[in-house]
């Protein structure tokens, strides 16, 4: 089998006094994602999609939130570690498609910067990275701005 597909999902609470970091890009806003690492929900989702494609478990297995080593960790480092795991097993990334779900702020002005950052981390061309954004129409925890969630699918192929 030369191709595999993987799916990722993650969510984080929004909190005052935290930076909002999505796809490796810091976005000006009065709320940010709370978590053990820098809580980049989009990069975490991509990590899980890639790990899933290679059947290597999930992000909690590789980076437990009980491990002080990952406290405040830059999620770009987590994704780099996932990429190393894939590389060791002879996989490279084909493409990723992601959706971030949050009410505010608007992500459209930042989507290109996220794509550039993610493409560099995944060692793929820009057109292999899609970052989409949606609100949740004011419904549920996303609608109440209690949190942000993100979904991703990733295709990997034999290097």
Q: Which residues bind Mg ion (CB under 5 A)?
A: 10, 44
Measured from the CB of residue 98, what is the shortest distance to Mg ion in angstroms?
A: 14
User: Closest approach of Cβ 152 to Mg ion, in Å?
Assistant: 12
* Least distance (Å) between residue 108 CB and Mg ion: 23
Cα three-residue angle 107-113-24, rounded to 5 degrees: 85
Cβ 44 to Mg ion, closest distance in Å?
4
d(CA 111, CA 152): 15
> In this chain, which residue has its C-beta nearest to Mg ion?
44
Using CA atoms, how far residue 20 sits from 27, 97, 110, in Å, is 5, 21, 12
The residue (of 57 and 90) whose beta carbon lies closer to Mg ion is 57
Helix (H, G, I), strand (E, B) or coil at 51: helix
Give the tokens for residue 10.
């993650």
Name which of 41 and 129 has its Cβ closer to Mg ion: 41
* Nearest CB to Mg ion, comparing residues 58 and 92: 58
> Per the structure block, which two tokens stand in for 119?
């493409």
Residue among 56 and 157 whose Cβ is closer to Mg ion: 56
User: What are the residues whose beta carbons fall under 8 Å from the beta carbon of 70, sequence distance 6 or more?
Assistant: 36, 37, 63, 64, 78
């Amino acid at each position: 089998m030369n191709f595999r597909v993987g799916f990722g999902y993650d969510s984080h609470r929004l909190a005052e006094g935290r930076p909002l970091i999505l796809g490796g890009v810091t976005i000006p806003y009065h709320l940010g994602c709370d978590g053990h690492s820098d809580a980049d929900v989009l990069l975490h989702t991509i990590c899980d999609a890639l790990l899933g494609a290679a059947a290597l478990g999930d992000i909690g297995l590789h980076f437990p939130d009980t491990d002080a080593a990952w406290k405040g960790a830059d999620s770009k480092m987590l994704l780099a570690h996932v990429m190393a795991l894939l590389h060791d097993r002879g996989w490279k990334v084909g493409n990723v498609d992601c959706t971030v779900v949050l009410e505010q702020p608007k992500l459209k002005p930042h989507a290109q910067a996220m794509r550039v950052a993610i493409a560099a981390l995944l060692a793929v061309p820009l057109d292999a990275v899609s970052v989409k954004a949606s609100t949740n129409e004011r419904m549920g925890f996303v609608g109440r701005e209690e949190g942000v969630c993100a979904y991703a699918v990733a295709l990997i192929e034999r290097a």
